[in-house]
Copies of this chain bind each other. A is one copy, B any other.
Amino acid sequence: MQTEEQLRDFILNGQLYYIPHVSLDCAIFGYHEQQLKLLLIKHKAIKDWCLPGGYIKRTETLVQAANRNVKERTGIDNLFLQQFKTFGDPDRAKTSQFDEDKWFETVGIRIDKTNWLIDQTISVGFYAITDFSRTEPQSDVLAVQCAWFDIDSLPKLDFDHDEMVKEALHTMRVQLYHYPIGYNLLPEKFTLSEIHALYETLLGKKLDISNFPKKLIALGLLKKLDEKRSIGAHRSPHLYMFDKEKYDEALKEGLVLS
């Protein structure tokens, strides 16, 4: 939603090209050098921060809609994206602190009870992972701030988004055992210590370093290169890279890593 005119049309006629009663929310996780962050937005008319989200066009699949939303916020297309849960508690919007005057100030329209945006909505949750250092978080007319927050010091979120984050994190951590996640989160060539640190950070716990990368090698997902990186006297670990073909296959098939 980049212009006020687009926004007006969305509010007044959106039900013609979006599916009413259904939204999506995206927990976009960001990794970089052993830090895990989450992307949040601040709506001008809502007190607390929120997950970025939006509606689903009538011509889109759910994953296309999620990809469009994630791209709008991060500038990156085709991130690793997984649907994790749909949220439909009838009370899910009850705690929201929506400021009607600020809304009117922003969009210049008061919406009445028959407007498509007012009625009960269920929301499909997706999570994505990217390297946060490569993104430029995007705000817009309604979402006036968009920023990365450390996963361990998130603010209280609006709607049921605290629960969404908890569920997204849980699903992402379970799926780390089933899907190889790491491409684009590491340099093209990396050491076993680096991929180990990536998995430890995403999981939020220690992993047995002697076993873990071996599994990825045994599955053919990692290729050992003839190059080493010199990081000090007597320390020059081998470099590895992903076998892109096997990696994509494993992503599709959900190979069990554990």
Contacts and interface: CB of A to CB of B under 8 A. Distances in A.
B174 A22 contact: no
A44 interface: no
B86 A124 contact: yes
A60 interface: yes
B83 A86 contact: yes
A170 B258 CA distance: 17
A170 B254 contact: yes
A62 B122 contact: yes
B19 A120 contact: yes
Interface in A52-67: 56, 58-62, 65
Q: How many copies, total?
A: 2
A71 interface: no
A19 B120 CA distance: 7
Contacts of A187: none
A124 B21 CA distance: 13
B19 A59 contact: no
Size bracket of the A interface = 20 to 34
A180 interface: no
Given A20-B20, A22-B22, A90 B258 contact: no
16 contacts: A19-B88, A19-B120, A22-B22, A56-B88, A58-B90, A60-B90, A61-B90, A62-B86, A62-B88, A62-B89, A86-B86, A86-B124, A88-B124, A174-B254, A174-B256, A258-B258
Given A59-B90, A62-B86, A174-B256, 20 more contacts: A19-B88, A20-B20, A21-B22, A22-B88, A22-B122, A56-B88, A56-B122, A58-B120, A60-B90, A61-B88, A62-B88, A62-B89, A62-B122, A65-B88, A83-B85, A86-B86, A174-B254, A177-B258, A256-B258, A258-B258
